[in-house]
Structure 1
Amino acid sequence: MPFSSAAPKPKVAHSAPRAHLFGLSAAMVTPFCTDGTIDTARATAHAAFLMQEGLNGVTLFGTTGEGSSLGTSDRACLLDAVLDAGVPAARITAAIVAPDIETASAQIAAAQAKGVDRMLLAPPFYFKGVSQAGLGAWVTQLISTTKRDMQIILYHIPQVTGVAFDAPLIRQLKDRFSDTIFGVKDSAGDWEHTASLLPMDDLAILIGDERLLARAAPLGGAGAISGMGNLLPARVDNLIRTGMADPDMDALVDRVVSAPVTPLVKALVGGLHDDPGWATTRPPLEQADSALVASLLATVRSLKG
């Protein structure tokens, strides 16, 4: 079933004045067959399910999607499957995950060839301790290699990449590249850093830690690219749109982040769909602990209602 290329038009509440700028995109998990290849049937079905749940879009190849474990052919296969599910390219964000400019540029070109122009850009992650000037030079050179207009969301997740986009650099990049730098996904879970970004009202500030969504909403948070959006999209969306705290959701996220997150979210997706095949991960990740999955699945089902 095809979906409208236009994202749903959410109500703009005084408690969440900028939620209409982005809304909720699920950080879509990536299904694998037992031989390690992309499971296109599951990917197509899950993408269609997410859009039917009313999400503004899906994000592919991110942390929850095991993007750093996906090669060129994997990325093409997954993107084709999601497009085949009827998800418009305009509602897809492609994560760009590479330590070198050539590979990052090729990932951008491949996405744009399919009509996807919004990118979630992870920093180059191999060298640690790089300066903000060096990181800015990398982003500048990358942007200079692209042949078409695009919208970049800078991906701040230093606990994974070991490289941070500091607020002053974000401001400099936005000032230099204007329309190209669309926003920031702040997944550090550090409120002080988030608070330094929220006054930048010419950027879409997206919150990666669901426990901070309600707090950010009245201060200018524009939405989320959310792993929990695979499981409880309505509750995550409510945090974005209303700015109302959800202690039960916070408690669930506390438990999820205490374990390897990606395998756990995948297994919970499988549990919701009574499909154990979703538990398969690609090395180096290992499958989630079955006892923990069973325990959390009961909670997820109760919150889903």
Structure 2
Amino acid sequence: MKTLKGVIAATPTPLNADLSIDTDRLIGHCRWLLGDGGCDGINLLGTTGEATSFSVEQRIAAMRAVAQSGVPLQRMMVGTGASALADAVALTRAARELGFAGALLLPPFYYKGIDAESLANHVGEVIAKAGPFGLKIYLYHIPQNTGVPFVAEAIARLRERYADIVVGLKDSSGDIAFSRSLAVQFPGFDVFPSSEGSLTEWKSSRFAGCISATTNVTGALSQIAWSDPDSEKGRQAAASAMAIRGVLGGFPLMASVKAALAAMTGDGGWERLMPPLRRLSPAERAELFSRLGKTDFAAQHAPATAG
């Protein structure tokens, strides 16, 4: 049964001083997100989680630590995309064997101009080699990063061949019209836009929820918008969430989300990023919090800092 619905946070990956993954802090944050953080689910090791900056071994070790922590995996999808087929297979197999509710699969992103049939065949190879039993795949459409879109034709082929396995898509393109068109074209296929602004129209547009980096900060507000989208309270909550999102998005997003979490927790370690990404400069940080001071950011709860 598919259980991934609603407000899903694309969680950042906290780092130790030596740039290894701080699994204790990661597990603590996941627990907070699924509780007081207001989220229905988590996208672990995606773009916000800097996944492609880690080795396959690092990613699987983090997945295993989370799986062994007792965090409810039926509420978690995990990024398993990689440019190399064998790496995508290893990560997707690990997600299935560890019991995550879904694998979020990037397209093979080095070679561009891939046609729909070749893209569908790639996903098919991942499914065959990772093992289809119990596997649920969510396609990750983020063409501004990958240069390889999951076009409707490729999705149609995958749905024809693997309807019980390829069950949804995260649309991080920012093109809400594309999200709407997929939800209409493929009934039963779970489409997740990447912005809290979509939450007030999830019923009319048939969205399964949203998967967003900024719901690490706006989760409680976003949950109000998701749970009560037709009310004035829901619309106001969505507007407040989008105001915070707009500020965070005005800076390098991974750095700004981590800076916000550092401020919310009082834990400066949250600001570490894997090269080539960098933390905000002092001037950028000052400007970020000056702008956040004009939103409802200060009213957000502080997340946990340890496992």
**What TM-score, normalized by structure 1, do the two folds share?**
0.87
Which one of the candidate residues 286, 297, 300 is aligned to 1:291? 286
8 A contact 1:272–1:301 mirrored in 2: no
Report the AA paired with residue 290 of structure 2: S
Partner of 2:164: 179
**In structure 2, what is the equivalent of residue 304 of structure 1?**
300
Question: Closer, same or farther in 2 for the Cα pair 1:106/1:21, shift >3 Å?
Answer: closer
Worse-superposed segment, 119-128 or 240-249 = 240-249
Of 146, 149, 153, the match for 1:161: 146
Q: 1:93 to 1:282 in 2, by over 3 A?
A: same
Q: Give % identity.
A: 32
1:1-305 matched pairs, under 5 angstroms: 22-53=5-36, 54-147=38-131, 148-199=133-184, 200-243=186-229, 244-245=234-235, 246-288=238-280, 289-298=284-293, 299-302=295-298, 304=300
Q: Structure 1 residues 191, 111: closer, same or farther in 2, change over 3 A?
A: closer
Q: Is the 8 A contact 1:48 1:85 kept in 2?
A: no
Q: Provide, for residues 64-108 of structure 1, a one-character-per-residue CA deviation record: whole Å limited to 9, x for no partner.
A: 111111212321332234235421222221111201211100001
C-alpha displacement of 1:281: 0.2
Structure 1: segments with no counterpart, 5+ residues: 1-5, 8-19
CA contact (8 A) 1:271 1:297 kept: no
Tell me the amino acid that sits aligned with residue 262 of structure 1. Answer: M
Q: Is the 8 A contact 1:231 1:300 kept in 2?
A: no
Residues of 2 paired with 1:104 and 1:32: CA distance? 23
Taking only aligned residues, the RMSD between alpha carbons, in angstroms, comes to 2.2
- Judge conservation of contact 2:247–2:288 (CA < 8 Å) in 1: no
**Worse-matched range after superposition: 36-45 or 269-278:** 36-45
Decide whether the 8 Å contact of 2:56 with 2:87 is kept in 1: no
Name the SS for the 2:78 alignment partner. strand
Cα contact 1:47–1:85 (8 A) shared by 2: no
Runs of at least 5 residues in structure 2 that lack an aligned partner in the other structure: 302-307
Q: Which amino acid aligns with 1:32?
A: L
Tell me how far 1:271 sits from its aligned partner: 0.9
* Offset of residue 125 of structure 1: 0.8
Distance 1:75 1:300, change over 3 A: farther
Aligned equivalents of 1:33 and 1:270: distance in 2? 14
- 4+ aligned runs moved over 4 Å, structure 1: none
What is the aligned partner in structure 2 of residue 16 from structure 1?
none
- Alpha-carbon distance change, 145 to 296 in structure 1, aligned in 2, over 3 angstroms: farther
The answer to whether the 8 Å contact 1:43/1:81 transfers is no
Superposed CA offset, 1:153-175 (max 9, x none):
11111111111111232122112
> Residues 76 and 136 of structure 1: is their aligned pair in 2 closer, same or farther, counting only changes over 3 Å?
closer
Match of 2:139, SS state, is strand
Q: Which amino acid aligns with 1:287?
A: R
Specify the SS of the correspondent of 1:232: helix
Distance 1:21 1:82, change over 3 A: closer
Task: Report the TM-score when normalising by structure 2.
Answer: 0.86
Q: CA deviation at 1:300?
A: 5.0
